[in-house]
Amino acid sequence: MAFKTRQDRLPYQTAVVTEQLYPASQLLSELISFGPQPNKAIVGGNAFAHEAGIHQDGFLKERTTYEIMDPRSVGVPESKLILGKHSGRHALNQRCADLGYKLSKEQLDGLYRRFIAIADSKKGVLNEEIVAMLEEQKSNAAAAE
CATH code for position 58: 4.10.430.20
Q: Are residues 106 and 49 in the same domain?
A: no
Of 81, 100, 124, at which residue does a domain stop? Answer: 81
Q: Are residues 41 and 105 in the same domain?
A: no
* Across 96-117, average pLDDT: 90
Confidence of residue 140 (pLDDT cuts 50, 70, 90): confident
* Across 99-122, average pLDDT: 89
Q: Domain containing 64: what range?
A: 2-81
| Residue 77 β-bridge partners | none
Decide if pLDDT at 81 tops 90.
no
Q: Are residues 54 and 37 in the same domain?
A: yes
DSSP state of 119: H
pLDDT score for 58? 84
Decide if pLDDT at 16 tops 90.
yes
29-67: b (≥16 Cβ within 10 Å) or e: eeeeeeebeeeeebbbeebbbbbbbebbbbbbeeeeebb
Please count the structural domains in the chain: 2
Task: Give the separation between CA 71 and CA 89, rounded to whole angstroms.
Answer: 25
What is the percent of the chain with per-residue pLDDT over 70, rounded to a whole number?
Answer: 99
Indicate whether this model's pTM tops 0.85. no
